[in-house]
Amino acid sequence: MNRYPAPAQPIVAEMEKAAEAAPQRAVAFQGAPGANSHIAVLEDQTDALPLPCFSFEDAIDAVRDGRAASALIPIENSLHGRVADIHFLLPESGLSITAEFFLPIRYALMGKGDLAEVKQAVSHPQALGQCRKWLRSRNIEPVPYPDTAGAAARVVEINDSAVAAIAPPGAAKIYGLSTLAEALEDSSDNMTRFVRLARSGGAIPNEGPVMTSFIFEVKNVPAALYKALGGFATNGVNMTKLESYQRGASFSATTFFADIVGHPDDPAVARALEELSFYSRSLRLLGTYKQARPRG
């Protein structure tokens, strides 16, 4: 599905053509050319052919349909929290998490006029949130758009000096905009974590620590979550992430997404997962992959 602004469409078409010729090298990402996800693909796999997709669902479909070997999806940001609802996207997709990648995030304001003229900044809600203090200090109105680099292309279409885009600095050159300000992010250590999704998990390297991601739904009984997680504490397994979600409209049960350090075949991890399974209505492993950054 292609709903990109007109200035982005020829670039997208060229990238789609290259990926179609060599799908084994194609890596799907959400966004227009120049987005942070595009940058992440190029830095994560230098020989990859980035395949732009308008939505996260489109990126996952590209992998499921064989048009791409994998997809690189942002799942959390150090300043603004959750990015993609991986707990909704992954379980029904049939894909596995095979790797993680961390990208430092930098933003610039780009437009057709001068900074003093800018009244609105268009960008992805995550980018707007990560630059919230900068925008407030200059009384610039944030305007949500599905993608950062796509917002830059949209600003070209609008052609109004009062409307600028917040996007990665390289997007200005791609779409012929002027860079009006740089380093907009509220913190210099702004970082986004991506996960690579593929049709099969592949072999997990034996050297170095690994991560395992899974989702589970606890039984609707008192202290179920406390009991379900007790096995990780007693077996010394480090849980680095735990998020809760409501699925459906009943609000009768909660689904949790979790990351732990370790392999399911490790005795301690196996015991912890067995105890978790006992107190859960469902448990699904999403992938085991090499740790990209130390935890703890």
What are the catalytic residues? 192, 194
- CB neighbourhood size of 246 (10 A): 11
Q: Which of 165, 187, 189 is nearest to 178 (CA)?
A: 165
Rounded Cα distance between 162 and 187, Å, is 26
Rounded Cα distance between 218 and 254, Å, is 7
The tokens for 136 are 């407030």
The tokens for 10 are 């020829």
Q: At what angle do helices 267-278 and 224-234 cross, to 10 degrees?
A: 170
Please give the full DSSP string across the chain, using - where no structure is assigned. Answer: -----GGGHHHHHHHHHHHHH-GGGEEEEESSTTSHHHHHHHHH-TT-EEEEESSHHHHHHHHHTTS-SEEEEEEEETTTEE-S-HHHHTTTTT-EEEEEEEEE---EEEESS-GGG--EEEE-HHHHHHTHHHHHHTTPEEEE-S-HHHHHHHHHHH--TTEEEEE-TTHHHHHTPEEEEE--SS-TT-EEEEEEEESS--PPPSSS-EEEEEEEEE-SSTTHHHHHHHHHHHTT--EEEEEEEE-SSS-S-EEEEEEEES-TTSHHHHHHHHHHHHTEEEEEEEEEEE-SS---
